[in-house]
Amino acid sequence: MGSGTYSFSARTVRADSLGYNTKSAREIFTERSMNNAMNPNGVDIRESRDSIEHPESIAIILGLDVTGSMGSIPHYLVKEGLPHIMQSIIDDGVKDPQLLFLGIGDHECDRAPLQVGQFESSDELLDHWLTTVFLEGGGGGNKGESYHLAWYFAGHHTSIDCFEKRNKKGYLFTIGDEPVLDNFPSRNVKNIMGVPQAQDYSSMELLDKAREMYNVYHLHLKQGSNGRSQHVMDGWKQLMGDNLIIIDKKEDVSSVISEIVTTNYQSVGNEFIQESEVEIDDEPLMGDTPTFPETQTEDEMML
């Protein structure tokens, strides 16, 4: 996977023809259950590979919370956020990005707690996988969502040339407004992934595993009671350290992601700098957690 290129002009024409800018989330995201192509059960590996077309591939995973409170994020991405991310990082010298979308729910109560796309580079295929995500709108009253499923999948079920050939980590972003659940029990691993044998994992174990190949960030959206809870943000800060990014509105998601990737990437020699050197808006990313200005608009109800 990962063939093809991202054409901004072709994407604009197709978005207009498909009505991405005018249709509701329900009209664009038409899946009413998990699409079989995104079912992780039985998936061994998702690959991000170099090619003649993309000789310096860089793997990027976007883990999207698709529970009830967060359905507006995929809708924002398909309308404008994804093209902004791709144009920004390509224009700033990251020539061969390959993105994989994950849909994340709640492994304790949802029908589709994990959905898995493919690493892709072309505008058409990226839109395909994004709009194939089932916006289940679930979640539960169990004080968290299963963001750690993104860490599990990245750490155990991806193979990426940027790391394996060049020792350059990929990027993994989860986006949500809830705490992360503490554990991923073996019975759930078996049920979701279809593996014959599994073990219990803690969230910290899964995060550490994902960090072996990826620079892992969590974007916490301050919307709703949980999103604005200092207790929730403190919990994420303890888990993620300086790789927790707090944002006030969904429109900041694309600029934060693109800036993190491009600031790490050096166009001269396609080399990466160390995380401790990264800065966003002249403030050290790896120091105090950056925030973005508050907004007074009401939360969008897309589902």
User: What are the domain boundaries of the chain?
Assistant: 8-284
pLDDT averages per 10-residue partition of the chain, 303 residues: 87 97 96 98 98 96 92 94 96 96 96 98 98 93 92 98 97 96 97 94 98 98 90 96 96 96 66 42 40 41 41
Is the Cβ–Cβ distance between 59 and 166 less than 8 Å? no
Looking at the domain covering 8-284, what would its CATH class be?
alpha beta
pLDDT of residue 143: 82
DSSP lists the bridge partners of residue 218 as 174, 244
Burial of 300 (0-12, 13-18, 19+ CB in 10 A): middle
Query: Distance of CA 225 to CAs 166, 182, 302, Å?
Result: 43, 20, 18
pLDDT tens string 218-268: 999 998 788 999 999 999 999 999 999 999 999 999 999 999 999 987 533
pLDDT at residue 1 in the model: 63
pLDDT score recorded for residue 266:
54
